[in-house]
Amino acid sequence: MSDDISGRPASPARRSLLRAGIAAGVALPAGALAARAQGIAAGTPDPLITEVQDWARYTGDGVDATPYGMPIHFEDQVVRRNVPWLTADPISSINFTPIHELDGTITPAGCAFERHHSGAIELSKPDYRLMINGLVDRPLLFTYDDLTRFPRQAGVYFCECAANSGMEWAGAQLNGVQFTQGMIHNMEYVGVSLKTLLDEAGVKPEGKWVYVEGADASSNGRSIPIEKALGDVLVAFKANGEALRKEHGYPVRLVVPGWEGNMWVKWLRRIEVTDAAVESREETSKYTDTMADGTSRKWTWVMDAKSVITAPSPQVPIAHGPGPLVITGLAWSGRGAVTRVDVSTDGGKSWQTARLAAPGVPMAMTRFYFDLNWDGSELLLQSRAIDQTGYVQPTKDALRAIRGENSVYHNNAIQTWWIKPDGSAENVEVS
């Protein structure tokens, strides 16, 4: 994977008007699959199958080689990446999940994106404390072991940074889905319901909000309405089976299903029940949406339905000629389950329903596939998600009509990849 796709300086928007002249591929009729496969009888013998290779001649690694394994070195390109011009200060910055290389729905913890306000801290379980104070009957202090004694919940949830796709508001900027939509992960979390802990403390009638903060230097304090806090929020200590990784808040983080990732406070240290939002530095200096008329929208917690085609895309161009092509991507919604994903090959003029790998799960990622018999001509690939509320993922133009071009956050617009006859892909816009 060459480095020249890892981002480019913020330049004037490269908004291409490409709708005209694109001949879409033909959708693959069921039963007509004809992938290129070499007939053994017809061709020259392939020594990789007819000759004994070294890997079949010698034995491989034993079971004591890797007590905890890493990916094979052939996959060294599947890593989190940052964007130099975005990441002037790596302590207070972001990196991106390589979603272009992944399939299925689970994000491996090892390459799930990071966003820190003051770096990833090292906090041991013996040193861990969680305080609940404020408008409660009984202020409480929990050790890590205390938390493990409460009834647990488990669930798969996506975590999306409010700034995901933020650089794209003013035009197509970054040439890779890792950079345009990669501030997201999807993991199976296990923890204790925040409601269980708040009930233990006893929320007073005047308690209308909770203010949650982390143990890191930024504290990243955020205010959450009491209705959500007493709903599906988890105080989580496991992700994808194992302990949280250091960079994801070890040993304890908040999981706020469907809501913007900055509320999923890492290294969770304190929960104060309050009668009003605190309006802290970390929740007012960021995450506020500038609207088309220049005013600001104060709170945007829920991440609206969104989808993106992860492959083919600029970092993973089509490596073969015309014929069967698997188009795949991810869809999610903070308001519930994704019920349908549509794919367009002509920049949104026409749509066809994609195949979901499994029925949508509320506030979790859904994998979709669209099998195309590609004729080798240009495509303008798009996807749009529809969730259980009937909400349809909007076009960039529709979103800009409401929000203008000065926003940074909450961009859930339809993404377009311009696929060229050589199989390469470019981030473009159509209008």
For residues 133-162, which are near its own copies according to CB under 8 A? 133, 138-142, 145-146, 148-155
DSSP 8-state class, residue 245 = P
- When asked if residue 90 is in the footprint of its own copies (CB under 8 A), the reply is yes
By CB under 8 A, which span of 46-54, 227-235, 253-261, 299-307 interacts with its own copies? 46-54
Burial label for 122, CB within 10 Å (0-12, 13-18, 19+), is exposed
CA 11 – CA 48 distance, rounded (Å): 48
Helices marked H in 121-161 — which ranges?
144-147
Closest approach of its own copies to the CB of residue 299, in Å: 26
Angle at 167 between CA 165 and CA 172, to 5 degrees: 90
The residue among 120 and 170 lying less far from its own copies, judged by its C-beta, is 120
In the region spanning residues 238 to 267, those forming contacts with its own copies, defined by CB under 8 A, are 238, 240-243, 245-247, 250-251, 267
Tell me which of 6, 7, 24, 101 binds its own copies, using CB under 8 A: 101
Residue selected from 6, 100, 105, 334 as contacting its own copies according to rule CB under 8 A: 105
By the rule CB under 8 A, 75 interacts with its own copies: yes
Q: Would you call 5 helix, strand, or coil by DSSP?
A: helix
Q: Does 323 bind its own copies (CB under 8 A)?
A: yes
Q: In angstroms, what is the minimal distance from the CB of 124 to its own copies?
A: 6
Q: Does 104 bind its own copies (CB under 8 A)?
A: yes
Helix (H) or strand (E) holding 201: helix 194-201
The residues, any chain, with a CB within 8 Å of residue 265's CB and separated by 6 or more, are 212, 213, 214, 220, 221, 222, 249, 253, 254
340-362 burial, b if ≥16 CB within 10 A, otherwise e? bbbbbbbbbeeeeebebeeebbb
Q: Binders of its own copies among 363-422, rule CB under 8 A?
A: 367, 369, 371
Stretch that binds its own copies, among 60-68, 163-171, 340-348, 415-423 (CB under 8 A): 60-68
Instruction: Out of 1, 15, 18, 87, point to the residue binding its own copies (CB under 8 A).
Output: 87
CB of 30 to its own copies, least distance (A): 10
At 27, which helix (H) or strand (E)? strand 26-27
Mask of contacts with its own copies, 12-41, x by CB under 8 A?
Answer: ---------------------x-xxxxxxx
Q: Is 351 in the site for its own copies (CB under 8 A)?
A: no
Yes or no: say if 207 and 275 are a contact pair by the CB < 8 Å rule. yes
Q: How far is the CB of 271 from its own copies (least distance, A)?
A: 12
Write out the two tokens for 231: 């709903």
Among 17, 27, 71, 421, binds its own copies (CB under 8 A): 71
User: In the bound complex, what is the minimum distance in angstroms from residue 269's beta carbon to its own copies?
Assistant: 8
- Residue 312 CA to residue 352 CA, distance in Å, equals 17
Structure tokens at 342: 């549509």
For its own copies, the closer of residues 124 and 295 by Cβ is: 124
Q: Which is nearer to its own copies, 364 or 380 (CB)?
A: 364
User: 320 or 420: whose CB is closer to its own copies?
Assistant: 320
- Residue 370 sits at the vertex; the CA angle it makes with 33 and 364, to the nearest 5 degrees, is 140
Measured from the CB of residue 374, what is the shortest distance to its own copies in angstroms? 10
- Measured distance CA(347)–CA(383) in Å, rounded: 9
